Structure 1
Amino acid sequence: MKLVLIVYYSRTEVTAKVATALARACGADLERIQDLRPRTGISGFLRSAWQALRGTAVDIAPAMRNPADYAFVILGTPVWAGRMSAPMRSYILQQRPHFRRIGLFCTMGGSGGRDVLSAMADLCNKLPVASMCLRQKDVLADDYRVALTSFADELTVLQSATPVAVAKPS
Protein backbone atom coordinates (compact mmCIF):
# COMPACT_ATOMS: atom_id res chain seq x y z
CA MET A 1 0.00 0.00 0.00
CA LYS A 2 1.20 3.47 -0.87
CA LEU A 3 1.05 6.15 1.78
CA VAL A 4 -0.29 9.49 0.48
CA LEU A 5 -2.34 10.58 -2.51
CA ILE A 6 -3.13 14.25 -2.99
CA VAL A 7 -6.24 14.87 -5.09
CA TYR A 8 -7.12 18.44 -6.00
CA TYR A 9 -9.20 20.62 -8.28
CA SER A 10 -7.91 23.98 -9.45
CA ARG A 11 -9.55 26.44 -11.82
CA THR A 12 -6.99 29.25 -11.49
CA GLU A 13 -3.88 27.21 -10.57
CA VAL A 14 -3.76 28.51 -6.96
CA THR A 15 -4.89 25.20 -5.47
CA ALA A 16 -2.60 23.39 -7.95
CA LYS A 17 0.40 25.35 -6.64
CA VAL A 18 -0.36 24.26 -3.06
CA ALA A 19 -1.03 20.63 -4.04
CA THR A 20 2.24 20.40 -5.96
CA ALA A 21 4.28 21.91 -3.11
CA LEU A 22 2.58 19.62 -0.61
CA ALA A 23 3.26 16.55 -2.77
CA ARG A 24 6.96 17.47 -2.88
CA ALA A 25 7.05 18.01 0.89
CA CYS A 26 5.33 14.68 1.65
CA GLY A 27 6.63 12.52 -1.18
CA ALA A 28 3.01 11.99 -2.22
CA ASP A 29 1.41 10.97 -5.49
CA LEU A 30 -0.65 13.68 -7.13
CA GLU A 31 -3.93 13.58 -9.05
CA ARG A 32 -5.70 16.55 -10.59
CA ILE A 33 -9.48 16.32 -10.98
CA GLN A 34 -10.33 17.02 -14.61
CA ASP A 35 -13.59 18.87 -15.17
CA LEU A 36 -15.24 17.81 -18.41
CA ARG A 37 -16.69 21.26 -19.08
CA PRO A 38 -14.47 24.36 -19.39
CA ARG A 39 -14.76 27.02 -16.69
CA THR A 40 -12.99 29.87 -18.45
CA GLY A 41 -14.18 33.44 -18.68
CA ILE A 42 -17.00 35.15 -16.84
CA SER A 43 -19.55 32.49 -17.79
CA GLY A 44 -17.30 29.77 -16.34
CA PHE A 45 -16.82 31.82 -13.18
CA LEU A 46 -20.56 32.39 -12.75
CA ARG A 47 -21.41 28.75 -13.47
CA SER A 48 -18.81 27.67 -10.91
CA ALA A 49 -20.32 29.88 -8.21
CA TRP A 50 -23.87 28.79 -9.07
CA GLN A 51 -23.01 25.09 -8.97
CA ALA A 52 -21.13 25.48 -5.69
CA LEU A 53 -24.06 27.33 -4.06
CA ARG A 54 -26.51 24.66 -5.23
CA GLY A 55 -24.25 21.78 -4.14
CA THR A 56 -24.28 20.38 -7.66
CA ALA A 57 -22.16 17.42 -8.71
CA VAL A 58 -20.68 17.75 -12.21
CA ASP A 59 -19.15 15.44 -14.79
CA ILE A 60 -15.45 14.80 -14.21
CA ALA A 61 -12.97 12.54 -15.97
CA PRO A 62 -12.42 9.11 -14.41
CA ALA A 63 -9.77 9.05 -11.68
CA MET A 64 -6.37 7.74 -12.76
CA ARG A 65 -5.39 6.54 -9.28
CA ASN A 66 -7.38 4.39 -6.89
CA PRO A 67 -7.64 6.03 -3.45
CA ALA A 68 -8.07 2.57 -1.89
CA ASP A 69 -4.37 1.99 -2.68
CA TYR A 70 -3.35 4.73 -0.22
CA ALA A 71 -3.29 5.00 3.57
CA PHE A 72 -4.07 8.74 3.34
CA VAL A 73 -5.94 10.76 0.73
CA ILE A 74 -5.49 14.52 0.93
CA LEU A 75 -8.24 16.50 -0.81
CA GLY A 76 -7.73 20.09 -1.95
CA THR A 77 -10.30 22.50 -3.34
CA PRO A 78 -10.78 26.19 -3.97
CA VAL A 79 -13.59 27.90 -2.07
CA TRP A 80 -16.32 29.05 -4.44
CA ALA A 81 -19.06 31.29 -3.01
CA GLY A 82 -18.29 29.90 0.45
CA ARG A 83 -18.58 26.27 -0.73
CA MET A 84 -16.33 23.50 -2.07
CA SER A 85 -15.90 23.34 -5.83
CA ALA A 86 -18.41 21.24 -7.75
CA PRO A 87 -15.68 19.00 -9.27
CA MET A 88 -14.39 18.19 -5.77
CA ARG A 89 -17.93 17.37 -4.64
CA SER A 90 -18.21 14.96 -7.58
CA TYR A 91 -14.89 13.28 -6.78
CA ILE A 92 -15.81 12.79 -3.12
CA LEU A 93 -19.20 11.34 -4.01
CA GLN A 94 -17.57 8.89 -6.43
CA GLN A 95 -14.60 7.87 -4.31
CA ARG A 96 -15.52 8.19 -0.63
CA PRO A 97 -16.06 4.46 -0.09
CA HIS A 98 -12.35 4.02 -0.91
CA PHE A 99 -10.94 6.57 1.56
CA ARG A 100 -9.12 5.14 4.58
CA ARG A 101 -7.97 8.37 6.22
CA ILE A 102 -8.27 11.87 4.86
CA GLY A 103 -6.60 15.24 5.12
CA LEU A 104 -8.19 18.39 3.73
CA PHE A 105 -7.05 21.76 2.46
CA CYS A 106 -8.64 24.69 0.68
CA THR A 107 -7.59 27.93 -0.93
CA MET A 108 -9.81 30.99 -0.79
CA GLY A 109 -9.96 34.54 -1.98
CA GLY A 110 -12.11 35.68 0.93
CA SER A 111 -13.53 33.57 3.72
CA GLY A 112 -15.46 30.38 4.37
CA GLY A 113 -12.56 27.94 4.42
CA ARG A 114 -13.37 26.31 7.75
CA ASP A 115 -16.98 25.75 6.67
CA VAL A 116 -15.78 24.19 3.41
CA LEU A 117 -13.43 21.83 5.26
CA SER A 118 -16.27 20.83 7.56
CA ALA A 119 -18.58 20.20 4.59
CA MET A 120 -15.90 18.10 2.89
CA ALA A 121 -15.39 16.00 6.02
CA ASP A 122 -19.15 15.50 6.31
CA LEU A 123 -19.41 14.45 2.67
CA CYS A 124 -16.51 12.01 3.13
CA ASN A 125 -18.11 10.65 6.32
CA LYS A 126 -14.70 10.95 8.00
CA LEU A 127 -12.84 13.26 10.32
CA PRO A 128 -9.65 14.62 8.74
CA VAL A 129 -6.29 13.75 10.28
CA ALA A 130 -5.05 17.22 9.28
CA SER A 131 -6.52 20.30 7.64
CA MET A 132 -5.39 23.66 6.31
CA CYS A 133 -6.98 26.83 4.89
CA LEU A 134 -4.88 29.20 2.81
CA ARG A 135 -5.66 32.61 1.39
CA GLN A 136 -5.09 33.06 -2.32
CA LYS A 137 -3.06 36.24 -1.77
CA ASP A 138 -0.68 34.35 0.55
CA VAL A 139 -0.23 31.53 -1.95
CA LEU A 140 0.44 33.93 -4.81
CA ALA A 141 2.97 35.83 -2.66
CA ASP A 142 4.65 32.55 -1.56
CA ASP A 143 3.73 33.49 2.01
CA TYR A 144 2.20 30.13 2.89
CA ARG A 145 5.27 27.95 3.43
CA VAL A 146 5.01 27.88 7.25
CA ALA A 147 1.42 26.58 7.12
CA LEU A 148 2.35 24.10 4.38
CA THR A 149 5.35 22.80 6.34
CA SER A 150 3.23 22.40 9.47
CA PHE A 151 0.58 20.47 7.51
CA ALA A 152 3.25 18.27 5.87
CA ASP A 153 4.87 17.63 9.26
CA GLU A 154 1.54 16.43 10.67
CA LEU A 155 1.24 14.00 7.78
CA THR A 156 4.83 12.81 8.17
CA VAL A 157 4.26 11.99 11.84
CA LEU A 158 1.08 10.10 10.95
CA GLN A 159 2.81 8.28 8.09
CA SER A 160 5.59 7.05 10.35
CA ALA A 161 2.97 5.60 12.69
CA THR A 162 1.05 3.92 9.85
CA PRO A 163 2.04 0.33 9.12
CA VAL A 164 2.56 -0.37 5.45
CA ALA A 165 1.16 -3.62 4.11
CA VAL A 166 3.81 -5.81 2.56
CA ALA A 167 2.83 -8.09 -0.31
CA LYS A 168 3.40 -11.79 0.37
CA PRO A 169 5.60 -13.58 -2.14
CA SER A 170 3.70 -15.84 -4.54
Structure 2
Amino acid sequence: MKILVTYYSRSANTKTVAQKIAKNLGADFEEIIDKKNRTRKIVGWIIAGRDASTKKLTEISYKKDSSKYDLVLIGTPVWAWTMTPAIRTYLFENKAKIVGKKSPKLAFFCTQGGSGDQKTFIEMAQLSKKSICNLTIIDKQISDCDNSVFGFCEAIKKKLKF
Protein backbone atom coordinates (compact mmCIF):
# COMPACT_ATOMS: atom_id res chain seq x y z
CA MET A 1 0.00 0.00 0.00
CA LYS A 2 1.38 3.39 -1.01
CA ILE A 3 0.81 6.06 1.66
CA LEU A 4 1.37 9.83 1.75
CA VAL A 5 1.40 11.96 4.89
CA THR A 6 1.03 15.60 3.91
CA TYR A 7 0.60 18.53 6.26
CA TYR A 8 0.97 22.25 6.94
CA SER A 9 2.69 23.41 10.11
CA ARG A 10 3.70 26.89 11.22
CA SER A 11 4.94 26.11 14.73
CA ALA A 12 6.24 22.55 14.05
CA ASN A 13 3.57 20.87 16.22
CA THR A 14 1.72 19.39 13.25
CA LYS A 15 5.05 18.52 11.60
CA THR A 16 6.07 16.53 14.69
CA VAL A 17 2.84 14.51 14.59
CA ALA A 18 3.11 14.04 10.81
CA GLN A 19 6.65 12.66 11.15
CA LYS A 20 5.53 10.16 13.79
CA ILE A 21 2.60 9.01 11.63
CA ALA A 22 4.79 8.66 8.52
CA LYS A 23 7.38 6.63 10.44
CA ASN A 24 4.71 4.36 11.93
CA LEU A 25 3.06 3.69 8.55
CA GLY A 26 6.22 3.65 6.41
CA ALA A 27 4.74 6.52 4.40
CA ASP A 28 6.05 9.19 2.09
CA PHE A 29 6.12 12.55 3.83
CA GLU A 30 5.54 16.05 2.44
CA GLU A 31 5.14 19.51 3.91
CA ILE A 32 2.74 21.90 2.20
CA ILE A 33 4.40 25.31 2.03
CA ASP A 34 2.24 28.43 2.42
CA LYS A 35 3.92 31.10 0.32
CA LYS A 36 2.33 33.85 2.42
CA ASN A 37 4.62 34.99 5.23
CA ARG A 38 2.79 33.93 8.38
CA THR A 39 5.23 35.02 11.06
CA ARG A 40 4.73 34.10 14.68
CA LYS A 41 4.47 37.74 15.77
CA ILE A 42 1.08 38.91 17.05
CA VAL A 43 0.07 40.60 13.77
CA GLY A 44 0.86 37.37 11.89
CA TRP A 45 -1.29 35.36 14.30
CA ILE A 46 -4.20 37.76 13.92
CA ILE A 47 -4.00 37.75 10.11
CA ALA A 48 -3.64 33.95 10.05
CA GLY A 49 -6.72 33.55 12.25
CA ARG A 50 -8.71 35.96 10.12
CA ASP A 51 -7.68 34.21 6.90
CA ALA A 52 -8.67 30.83 8.37
CA SER A 53 -12.02 32.00 9.77
CA THR A 54 -12.98 33.72 6.51
CA LYS A 55 -12.04 30.57 4.56
CA LYS A 56 -9.43 32.29 2.42
CA LEU A 57 -7.28 30.35 0.00
CA THR A 58 -3.55 31.00 -0.29
CA GLU A 59 -0.69 30.27 -2.65
CA ILE A 60 0.96 26.97 -1.72
CA SER A 61 3.63 24.64 -3.02
CA TYR A 62 3.99 20.86 -2.82
CA LYS A 63 5.37 18.24 -5.19
CA LYS A 64 3.74 14.87 -4.60
CA ASP A 65 0.70 13.79 -6.63
CA SER A 66 -2.00 12.57 -4.23
CA SER A 67 -3.64 10.45 -6.95
CA LYS A 68 -0.59 8.14 -6.97
CA TYR A 69 -1.35 6.92 -3.43
CA ASP A 70 -3.75 4.42 -1.88
CA LEU A 71 -4.04 6.44 1.33
CA VAL A 72 -3.43 10.15 1.95
CA LEU A 73 -3.26 11.51 5.49
CA ILE A 74 -3.74 15.28 5.70
CA GLY A 75 -2.71 17.27 8.77
CA THR A 76 -3.42 20.81 9.89
CA PRO A 77 -3.22 22.96 12.97
CA VAL A 78 -6.61 24.32 14.03
CA TRP A 79 -6.75 28.09 13.59
CA ALA A 80 -9.88 29.99 14.61
CA TRP A 81 -11.80 26.69 14.94
CA THR A 82 -11.04 25.56 11.38
CA MET A 83 -8.29 24.33 9.05
CA THR A 84 -5.50 26.57 7.85
CA PRO A 85 -5.71 28.39 4.49
CA ALA A 86 -2.89 26.14 3.20
CA ILE A 87 -4.86 22.94 3.85
CA ARG A 88 -8.08 24.49 2.54
CA THR A 89 -6.20 25.35 -0.67
CA TYR A 90 -4.65 21.87 -0.88
CA LEU A 91 -8.06 20.21 -0.60
CA PHE A 92 -9.53 22.64 -3.16
CA GLU A 93 -6.67 22.07 -5.64
CA ASN A 94 -6.69 18.28 -5.21
CA LYS A 95 -10.43 17.63 -5.06
CA ALA A 96 -10.51 15.95 -8.47
CA LYS A 97 -7.66 13.63 -7.40
CA ILE A 98 -9.00 12.66 -3.97
CA VAL A 99 -12.69 12.21 -4.72
CA GLY A 100 -14.03 9.43 -6.93
CA LYS A 101 -14.01 5.68 -7.39
CA LYS A 102 -10.27 5.29 -7.96
CA SER A 103 -9.19 7.98 -5.52
CA PRO A 104 -7.13 7.30 -2.40
CA LYS A 105 -8.64 6.76 1.03
CA LEU A 106 -8.25 9.78 3.32
CA ALA A 107 -7.44 10.21 7.00
CA PHE A 108 -7.18 13.53 8.82
CA PHE A 109 -5.18 14.70 11.80
CA CYS A 110 -4.89 18.02 13.57
CA THR A 111 -3.12 19.77 16.40
CA GLN A 112 -4.82 22.41 18.49
CA GLY A 113 -4.32 24.58 21.53
CA GLY A 114 -7.98 24.63 22.47
CA SER A 115 -10.94 23.40 20.46
CA GLY A 116 -12.34 23.19 16.95
CA ASP A 117 -11.09 19.80 15.84
CA GLN A 118 -14.51 18.27 15.12
CA LYS A 119 -15.62 21.29 13.08
CA THR A 120 -12.29 21.18 11.26
CA PHE A 121 -12.70 17.50 10.34
CA ILE A 122 -16.27 18.12 9.13
CA GLU A 123 -15.12 21.00 6.91
CA MET A 124 -12.20 18.96 5.56
CA ALA A 125 -14.61 16.17 4.63
CA GLN A 126 -16.97 18.65 2.97
CA LEU A 127 -14.10 19.82 0.74
CA SER A 128 -13.03 16.26 -0.09
CA LYS A 129 -14.75 13.17 1.28
CA LYS A 130 -15.23 11.42 4.58
CA SER A 131 -12.05 10.24 6.22
CA ILE A 132 -11.59 6.69 7.45
CA CYS A 133 -10.04 7.89 10.72
CA ASN A 134 -9.27 11.17 12.54
CA LEU A 135 -6.70 12.11 15.17
CA THR A 136 -6.51 15.20 17.37
CA ILE A 137 -3.44 16.05 19.43
CA ILE A 138 -3.56 18.92 21.93
CA ASP A 139 -0.48 21.15 21.62
CA LYS A 140 0.68 20.58 25.19
CA GLN A 141 0.63 16.80 24.54
CA ILE A 142 2.85 16.90 21.43
CA SER A 143 5.93 15.62 23.26
CA ASP A 144 3.97 12.67 24.65
CA CYS A 145 1.72 11.66 21.76
CA ASP A 146 3.36 8.40 20.67
CA ASN A 147 0.59 6.20 22.07
CA SER A 148 -2.14 8.30 20.43
CA VAL A 149 -0.32 8.22 17.09
CA PHE A 150 0.24 4.46 17.40
CA GLY A 151 -3.47 3.90 18.13
CA PHE A 152 -4.46 6.07 15.15
CA CYS A 153 -2.14 4.15 12.83
CA GLU A 154 -3.36 0.80 14.13
CA ALA A 155 -6.99 1.87 13.56
CA ILE A 156 -6.11 2.79 9.97
CA LYS A 157 -4.35 -0.53 9.41
CA LYS A 158 -7.34 -2.42 10.79
CA LYS A 159 -9.83 -0.53 8.60
CA LEU A 160 -7.72 -1.04 5.49
CA LYS A 161 -6.68 -4.59 6.43
CA PHE A 162 -2.93 -4.18 6.06
Given the two structures, how large is their TM-score scaled by the length of structure 1? 0.88
User: Following TM superposition, by how much is the alpha carbon of 1:96 offset from its aligned partner in structure 2, in angstroms?
Assistant: 1.8
SS at match of 1:118: helix
1:45 equivalent to 2:45? Answer: yes
Aligned to 1:168: none
Q: Deviations over 1:123-152 (max 9, x none)?
A: 11x11111111100001xx22222111111
User: Following TM superposition, by how much is the alpha carbon of 1:159 offset from its aligned partner in structure 2, in angstroms?
Assistant: 4.4
SS at match of 1:133: strand
Q: Which moved more, 1:26-35 or 1:92-101?
A: 92-101
- Alignment RMSD: 1.2
Given the two structures, how large is their TM-score scaled by the length of structure 2? 0.92
User: Following TM superposition, by how much is the alpha carbon of 1:114 offset from its aligned partner in structure 2, in angstroms?
Assistant: 1.0
SS at match of 2:73: strand
SS at match of 1:80: coil
Aligned to 1:88: 87
In 2, the alpha carbon distance for the partners of 1:37 and 1:122 equals 25
Structure 1 residue ranges without an equivalent (≥5) = 162-170
- Tell me which structure has the larger Cα radius of gyration: 1
User: Following TM superposition, by how much is the alpha carbon of 1:37 offset from its aligned partner in structure 2, in angstroms?
Assistant: 1.5
1:136 equivalent to 2:100? Answer: no
In 1, the alpha carbon distance for the partners of 2:144 and 2:5 equals 21
User: Following TM superposition, by how much is the alpha carbon of 1:43 offset from its aligned partner in structure 2, in angstroms?
Assistant: 2.1
In 2, the alpha carbon distance for the partners of 1:154 and 1:96 equals 25
| Counterpart residue type for residue 101 of structure 1 | K
Aligned to 1:153: 154
Identical pairs, percent: 29
How many pairs does the alignment contain?
Answer: 156
In 1, the alpha carbon distance for the partners of 2:161 and 2:69 equals 14
User: Following TM superposition, by how much is the alpha carbon of 1:160 offset from its aligned partner in structure 2, in angstroms?
Assistant: 3.9
